[in-house]
Amino acid sequence: MEKADRLYLKSLLETPSPTGCETSVAALVRERLAESATEIQTNVMGSVHASLEGCGSGPSVMLAAHMDEIGLMVHYISDDGFLSVSAVGGVDAAILPGLRVDVHTQSGVLRGVVGRKPIHLIKADERKTVTPIDQLVIDLGLPAKKVKKLVRVGDEITFGVGFERFGKNMAVSRAFDDKCGVWVGTRVLETLKAAGQAKGDFVFAATVQEEIGVRGGETSAFGVHPDVGLAFDVTHATDYPGIEQAKFGKIVCGEGPVIARGPNINPLVFQRLVAAAEAEGIPYQIEAEPGVTGTDARAIQMQHGGIPTGLVSVPLRYMHTPTEVICLTDLENTVKLITRFVLDLDETACFVPGMEETPDKKGK
């Protein structure tokens, strides 16, 4: 990965964007794509739509990736100046005690720590259970009067960690879910621009509020109304101890992008994604999704009369923790895969299952 691209990824990851507060990351996307995109719009939800005009009559494509990250929200400030919080998105209470966090206020960012009684003061039977979020507090190290002046109910909180490379081509950070997708979408648009543009229009939708129900993906898909929709997200790597592969499938960091297959996925989009990976000579993995996916693909597929939809992911270890881990090579290969998929589309592309053109049908 080029240094400039790696620094952009780092800036995306370390710019706070808890669900409902994605404006700072949205500004990064608009700034990065200002010279590459034909047009950039931001809708009333806050999702960014960066468009690249096509050079022919191929189908239009929308690639969606969400900008929001999980976090916490202040719902009570005690008389002693400690914060009680609620989860924003799928936060595991087990990972919170002892964590450093950032509280985002109107006056700026305040460093806090998630407090819990030390093990010495916890009864033996209580040590075996996870302390619920509503029994944890955040300590800002400030007098109560100062806390009440600076912090308001509804202020959001993010994990106080950032991006770091480690191992071989690996990286760890909070919020790879799904800011690595924002990076992929940006790079796909830039790569298409450098390649002379696709035949049809391309829109990268950096969406909001995925973590509380794919809300940005739904409104973007309705507003853009593309001929073909792709969602990019992370998926669970199953290549570390404790994960039952017979139950969850075999998904390995470093073995390429993951192409989903199932009823949420148009079968012809799936076939074209596989063909694109093979044409580029990049490794890929297939994941079974027997129901709806927990991604923007769920929302895209159901808009208007139905939009043919695909889902591409990268393997992610330790999802929804402060130490999410990915392989950077998987990100680069995903850009190649999606770019090739888009460039291969032309006016003959058909996505109606059972109605695609085959050699036998051509001969009739």
Any idea which residues carry the catalytic annotation?
A: 210
What 8-state DSSP symbol labels residue 317?
B
- Phi and psi at 79, nearest 5°, equal -65, -20
- The b/e string for 159-195 (b: 16+ C-beta within 10 A; e otherwise) is bbbebeeeeebbbbbbbbbbbbbbbbbbbbbbbbbee
- Residue 60 in tokens: 């239009």
**Residue 276 contacts by C-beta under 8 Å, 6 or more apart in sequence?**
337, 338, 340, 341, 344
d(CA 227, CA 356): 15
CB within 8 A of 123, min separation 6: which ones? none
Residues in Cβ contact with 176 at an 8 Å cutoff, skipping those fewer than 6 apart: 13, 234, 316, 324, 325, 326
The Cα–Cα gap between 21 and 339 comes to 30
Rg (C-alpha) for the chain, rounded Å, is: 22
Contact (Cβ atoms closer than 8 angstroms) between residue 152 and residue 105: yes
Residues 6+ apart with CB under 8 A from 363: none
Q: Which residue has the tokens 């032309």?
A: 346
Annotate 104-173 with DSSP letters as a single string: EETTEEEEEEEE---GGGS-TTGGGSPPPGGG-EEE-SS-HHHHHHH--TT-EEEES---EEETTTEEEE
Residue type (1 letter), 130: V
Q: From the centroid of its chain, how far is CA 215? A: 13
Whats the size of the chain, residue-wise? 364
